[in-house]
Every structure is written in C-alpha cells, then in structure tokens.
Amino acid sequence: MSIRCADLAKVYEGGKSGWPALRGVSFEIKTGEFVAVTGPSGCGKSTLLNIIGLLDEPSGGKYEFNGRNVVSMTDQERSEARLGQIGFVFQSFHLLNRMSSLENVCLPLLYAGIDSREMKVRASSLLHKVGLKGKERKTPLELSGGERQRVAIARALANSPRLILADEPTGNLDTASSREIVDLLFGLNAEGITVVMVTHDKEIAARAGRNIKLRDGRLEE
Ligand SMILES: Nc1ncnc2c1ncn2[C@@H]1O[C@H](COP(=O)(O)OP(=O)(O)OP(=O)(O)O)[C@@H](O)[C@H]1O
Ligand SMILES: [Mg+2]
C-alpha cells in the first residue's frame, strides 16, 4: 500500500474560474501508517480524502496509488481498487436504514460476487469483531450512533482492505463513543491496515502517528 501525491490540485467547477479546493499538495503515505488529516472547515480535507480514495480525480498534479498514476487507470481499474483495497467510513455512516446491520455489511461482499452463505458468515464475524455480536438483525435506526459507526467499519472491512479512509468518523458521536471508534481504528491499524482519518479533534490527531495539516488547500508548515 502506498500513496504518493505531488503538487496535487483540485478545482471544482463553478463561478468564473472555479473553486480551488487543493492548491498543490505533496506528501507520501506508507503501509501501516496512521495519518490524521486536520485543518479548518473548508480547507480541503474531504476533497483530499475523496481523491486518495479514487472517488474523485485531481485537476492537476500527480497521484500514485500503489505506484500507479491514477490518471492512467481505467474507470474499471479504479472501481476494482476501491472495492478490493479501500474501506470508507463517513461522519454520517452512509448505511442503508431499511437493511439489517448484517445486510449492510454483506453489500460489498455481494458486489464482489461472494456466495451468499460465505457472505453471511463473513459479515457476522466482522460484526463480532467490531463488538456487535447479537445485533446482526437490527437496522441502523435501532442502533446508537457509535453502534452505527461500528456497522460502517465492519462494512468497510468486508473486502479486507489494506487502507481505511475515514472522514470525521467521530463527528456525530459523543465523547465516549468517539473514543471507542478511534480505539477500534487504532486496533485495525495495529493489524497492519493503513488508516487516513480526517478529524477536528486535537486529542485524536495527537494520537495519530502523523498529521497532515491543511489550510486553504495547502499543506501547513
Ligand atoms: N462539489 C463541490 N463543488 C464546488 N465546491 C466544492 C465542492 N466540494 C467542496 N467544495 C469547496 O471546496 C473547498 C474544500 O471543501 P472540503 O469539503 O474538502 O473541505 P473540508 O476541509 O472537508 O471541510 P469540513 O471540515 O467542513 O468538512 C470548500 O471551499 C468547499 O466549498
Ligand atoms: Mg469535510
């Protein structure tokens, strides 16, 4: 797992000359790191995470994911890399409320073409791993915020990703649940998964091995 960005830029369409969200950002992230991305609202954190996660493309500069320049990847290669190597966790969970927690975790396995018996075995062992044994049949609306985020993390782990990208995963949680979710992410990192997490929380950022600080679309010295 490696991430290398050189002079990365992102300009969103709009206005006369567009909205510059990233203005030349260079850094590297290596296997096994735990990196916190910090900075004031609007500085480009989510934009950066979306580009790292191959959900969006840079408008300038270079991004190499595992040594491949992402602009040379086809859409299919990008979605395969996303599905097979990257797990996403969002502030607002992005779970399907009409499905049980088990079914939510099964979804990526379904896309990956895993057979339905193995899918359920794997999904329930992942729910167990994140501390939700016995809650397989509950829907997200029947779970607490912290529990919902655990389901989202189990789902992110479904295809055994090497990289987890988390955009303010504790932004909607109380202090106690935040701590539990962050501990869970640190536990996954200890198992060798690279974690890149956007956070506004100074204490959480201080626990990370490294911080990438953004301000106005640039790295802060
Ligand atoms: N789809 C979009 N179209 C146009 N401008 C956008 C779009 N998404 C983000 N922006 C702009 O790009 C800049 C960076 O946004 P981004 O969402 O990356 O910030 P952020 O650091 O994640 O902020 P927050 O902490 O509030 O989540 C902001 O000025 C924002 O208004
Ligand atoms: Mg954001």
Is the CB of residue 21 below 6 angstroms from any atom belonging to ligand 1?
yes
Which strands sit side by side in the sheet containing 34-38, from one edge to the other?
86-90, 163-167, 194-198, 34-38, 210-215, 218-219
Asked if 165 and 188 count as a contact pair (C-beta separation under 8 A), the reply is: no
Residue 154 lies in a domain: yes
State which of 8, 12, 91, 200 you would mutate to test the pocket of ligand 1, scoring each by most atoms of that ligand within 8 A of its C-beta. 12
- The per-residue pLDDT for 130 is 97
> CA nearest 101: which of 121, 131, 85, 124?
124
- The per-residue pLDDT for 211 is 97
Query: pTM here?
Result: 0.96
> CA nearest 101: which of 121, 122, 127?
127
Residue 107 lies in a domain: no
Residue 23 lies in a domain: yes
Residue 212 lies in a domain: yes
- The per-residue pLDDT for 17 is 86
* CATH number assigned to the domain comprising residue 77: 3.40.50.300
Which residues of the chain fall short of a pLDDT of 70? none
- The per-residue pLDDT for 168 is 97
Angle between helices 145-157 and 116-129 (to 10 degrees): 130
Q: How many domains does the chain have?
A: 1
Whole domain around residue 187: which residue ranges? 2-97+146-219
Is the CB of residue 19 below 6 angstroms from any atom belonging to ligand 1?
yes
Is the CB of residue 8 below 6 angstroms from any atom belonging to ligand 1?
no
Residue 186 lies in a domain: yes
- The per-residue pLDDT for 15 is 85
Distance CA 50, CA 40 (A): 17
Residue 104 lies in a domain: no
Distance CA 214, CA 221 (A): 9
Asked if 42 and 215 count as a contact pair (C-beta separation under 8 A), the reply is: no
